[in-house]
Amino acid sequence: MDSQVKYLLSLKAVRDRSKIVGEAAKSGKLSHFEVREDKLDEVVDFVASVIKRDYGPDKFDTIPPHGRWQHFEVGNVPRVVNIMEEWKKEGCDKTEVTRRLIDLFFVSVLLDAGAGDHWRYTEPGTDQVYERSEGIAVASLHMFKSLSYTSGSIPIVDGKGLEKLQTDELAKGFQVSDSNPMLGVDSRAALLRSLGGSLLAHPDVFGAEGRPGNLVDCLIKSAGDSAKLDVLFLWDTLQALLIPCWPKDRTTINGTPIGDAWPLSTLKNTSGSSDPSDGIQPFHKLTQWLTYSLMVPFQRVLGLEWTNADSLTALPEYRNGGLFVDLGVLVLKKDTLDRGLKASGEELPMFDAGDDVIVEWRAMTLVLIDKLYGKIQPRMGDGVQLSMAQLLEAAKRKAENSTQYEEKSGRFHPTFVASRVFVVIFILFIPPLVFPIVFPIIFPVIFPIISLVAIHIFIVFAIIISFQFVIFFLKVYTLLNLAIFLVCGIIFFIPAVIFFIFPVIFVYAKAVAFFEVVSISPTGMVDMQSIQDTPVCSSRTLG
């Protein structure tokens, strides 16, 4: 293998190259972002507060390592523990249980790409609905239990089983339909089929059947008499297996594919080299995510430890990087922002996944999380030493939930917030302004009792819908959005009193006068002759 290719496939290259980008950032030489280092301490304070809130002051050692295992537990359901108990009852020992977990985690992680904003998964036998990574995890688990990934009759994964997996079967397992669309179903199925072929092509590691779980035996054998496994050995094994599986349009060096690695103008400009490989920033995000995930069963089930775990980096994904955009550490330069806004035609910029700005964003995500990691440690107190995997689990996932970070982030962008406020104000003000103007005109020809009931229904729904719009559009979970919510609530209360409550009093007064005019029969029925031309207000007219 070419030495440059070997280097770019390594974990060392991921961090080395991102450090070069970090140095360029210090000199203000990034192509697309301005870095506001003064904001970084705010991120540190925020993340530290999240960790201390959930694990302090004496539970830091209970923070689980970042991995797929936690996704399977969504909804506080111990699915992994439950299925492990089932396997033990079938006679599986700890080694076989670990093999099956590696089988499951392998396919689940490789299926874990963005599902889109509209896909949901309803767990069979329950009314629980999940989305995004957690939904994919639960769906992949149920497909695993239904033998979708095997050519045999027990719940494992093997090469032939993956090679026969069709897109329709995957779509059915993930409940994909016209009303429940999922991004990239075809490519997910194709990736698993490709994985099946690659597993079968490496019988020395995965056995003749091409089973991911056979990696357990390979790693234990490589450790010899030691109870410690080497992350770098696992990494090289995974890269050899997965590089042939990735899409063929990825970056290549001298015709050799190098996976999740991309040209970056900042590196090219900094190096001044004519060698294209010197301008490549590798990430290998999905392989790192798989590595983090596969490490956990070895630790929890077999009690084995890992060496060189600090070689792994943070995951350069939109949720990690979005934290630094949301909190103002990374700010797009004007030219780049304008280009993105022009491409999207909306209030948020849009760029292709391989765009230079996205590559620079991902590289800076690695740089900033390394800095964050160094600053977090002293905040945790004496004797507390978090691993990167623990930081990612305790802070990143919880922090993104606290800020309600979404794939199309930008909720702190002034244009974004202003547009939401406009919508909310529109919803709040138009009904109360229009109602008192229109009502006196239409009142004399509306049957009063039904009208009064309808008006009260209208008021209740107006209030509920107004506040739901506030919550939906502004995501009332951060201090900024909470403040906006409270201001809108106060603004709403004043016109509500003036334009809603006063007209109700007015309506009752009018109703009394109306009853004096309308003839009532001795039976208590309205004399329809006296109001024969009066249209009746119904729920349909309100609809």
Query: What pLDDT score does 466 carry?
Result: 59
Cα–Cα distance, 311 to 366 (Å, whole number): 13
Cα–Cα distance, 48 to 54 (Å, whole number): 10
Pairs from 350-359 (Cβ < 8 Å, separation ≥ 24): 354/262, 356/31, 356/32, 356/263, 356/264, 356/265, 357/31, 357/32, 357/33, 357/332, 359/262, 359/263, 359/264, 359/281
Query: What pLDDT score does 114 carry?
Result: 83
Query: What pLDDT score does 305 carry?
Result: 94
Q: How far is CA 285 from CA 193, 196, 218, 319, in A?
A: 20, 21, 23, 13
Pairs from 351-360 (Cβ < 8 Å, separation ≥ 24): 354/262, 356/31, 356/32, 356/263, 356/264, 356/265, 357/31, 357/32, 357/33, 357/332, 359/262, 359/263, 359/264, 359/281, 360/21, 360/30, 360/31, 360/32, 360/33, 360/264, 360/265, 360/266
Cα–Cα distance, 400 to 436 (Å, whole number): 44
CA atoms within 13 A of residue 343's CA, in its CB half-sphere: 12
Cα–Cα distance, 293 to 66 (Å, whole number): 7
Query: What pLDDT score does 273 carry?
Result: 85
Tens of pLDDT along the chain (543 residues)?
Answer: 688 999 999 999 999 999 999 999 999 999 999 999 999 999 999 898 888 888 877 888 888 888 999 999 999 999 999 999 999 999 999 999 999 999 999 999 999 988 888 999 999 999 899 999 999 999 999 999 999 999 999 999 999 999 999 999 999 999 999 999 999 999 999 999 999 999 999 999 999 999 999 999 999 999 988 889 999 999 999 999 999 999 888 899 988 999 999 999 999 999 888 888 999 999 999 999 999 999 999 999 999 999 999 999 999 988 889 889 999 999 999 999 999 999 988 888 999 988 999 999 999 999 999 999 999 888 887 778 888 889 888 875 555 454 433 333 333 333 333 334 444 444 444 554 455 555 555 555 444 545 555 555 566 556 655 555 555 454 444 455 556 656 666 665 565 555 555 555 655 555 555 444 443 333 333 333 333 333 333 332 223
Query: What pLDDT score does 247 carry?
Result: 86
Query: What pLDDT score does 494 carry?
Result: 61
Query: What pLDDT score does 113 carry?
Result: 84
Query: What pLDDT score does 117 carry?
Result: 87
Main-chain phi, psi angles of 194, to 5 degrees: -65, -40
Structure tokens, 73:
């537990």
Q: How far is CA 452 from CA 40, 176, 519, in A?
A: 57, 46, 19
- How do residues 61-80 score in pLDDT, each as one tens digit? 888 888 999 999 999 999 99
Query: What pLDDT score does 404 carry?
Result: 38
> In the chain, what percentage of residues exceed pLDDT 70?
73
Cα–Cα distance, 66 to 397 (Å, whole number): 9
Cα–Cα distance, 63 to 159 (Å, whole number): 35
Query: What pLDDT score does 177 carry?
Result: 95
